[in-house]
Amino acid sequence: MPAKSARPGGVGPTGAGAEGAGTRRQKPGEKSRSKTGSVLSSKRELLSRSTTEDRLSVVAASKSQARSNSASGTGSNATSAPGEVADRLHSAAIHLLRRLRREDDASGLPAPQLSALSVIVFGGPITLGALAAAEQVRPPTITKLVVALETAGLVAREADTDDGRVTRVRATARGTRLLQDGRQRRVASLEASVLGLSRDEREQLASAIPILERIVRGS
């Protein structure tokens, strides 16, 4: 009796379903090899990233060393180009100011009031207009600051001796003492840092101060 032929998609004599054209049955162990390949690929990707990060770290360290050499004048990258000097001076000034502002917290005054009080103590008695110009704020803003300082007993208004129509703001004894105490705290903080320098470094810093003062004066 002739054997029955399996129909496409049907059931053969053994009862097994016929596989479609182009379909390949996965062999044992093939799945595990696929997973292993995926893991190795992930490891290679991580290794590549790690290598890239290491290279970036080396580059960053090299740049940091170059800046350090430039600052000390010992490396081949040391430069006195005006733009480079101005950039470093700008950065140092900002960081120094931020550091010293921490000492001002002990005064209990907001930064705008403390700044205005500083101008009044060292530049007063002063008119409201001149104070606003020095602080680079509008007249209404400076008026509010002076009122707050008056309320705290740190400044007082008085008539100009030459022109009674002009009012000047002067610091009270309490205001002067508060500002001087803050100045002493800032100077003490700087002194602690200066003490950590070598003798040669202190001499270099001292010799640079007149130059910085000329820059501040704009001359």
- Residue 33 is encoded by which pair of tokens? 């090899």
Residue 95 has pLDDT above 60, yes or no: yes
- Identify the residue with better confidence: 216 or 202: 202
**What residue segments make up the domains of the chain, in order of their start?**
33-72, 82-217
The CATH code belonging to domain 82-217 is: 1.10.10.10
Total Cβ atoms within 10 A of residue 48: 10
Whose tokens are 């090899």? That residue is 33
Count of CA atoms in the C-beta half-sphere (13 A) of 41: 6
Per-residue pLDDT, 21: 45
Handedness of CA 94, 95, 99, 102 (dihedral sign): positive
**For 172, phi and psi rounded to 5 degrees?**
-85, 170
Per-residue pLDDT, 55: 47
Handedness of CA 72, 76, 82, 84 (dihedral sign): negative
Give the model's confidence band at 92: pLDDT under 50 very low, under 70 low, under 90 confident, else very high. very high
Q: Report which DSSP code applies to 105.
A: G
CA angle 55, 61, 64 (to 5 degrees): 145
Across the chain, the runs of DSSP E, i.e. the strands, are 126-127, 155-159, 167-171
Residue 121 has pLDDT above 60, yes or no: yes
- How does pLDDT run across 7-35, given as a tens digit for each residue? 444 444 444 444 444 445 555 544 444 44
- Rounded average pLDDT over 173-201: 94
Handedness of CA 41, 43, 48, 52 (dihedral sign): positive
Sequence-distant (≥ 6) Cβ neighbours of residue 131 within 8 angstroms: 116, 119, 120, 142, 146, 169
What's the pTM value of the predicted model, to 2 decimals?
A: 0.55
β-sheet bridge partners, residue 127: 168
β-sheet bridge partners, residue 156: 170
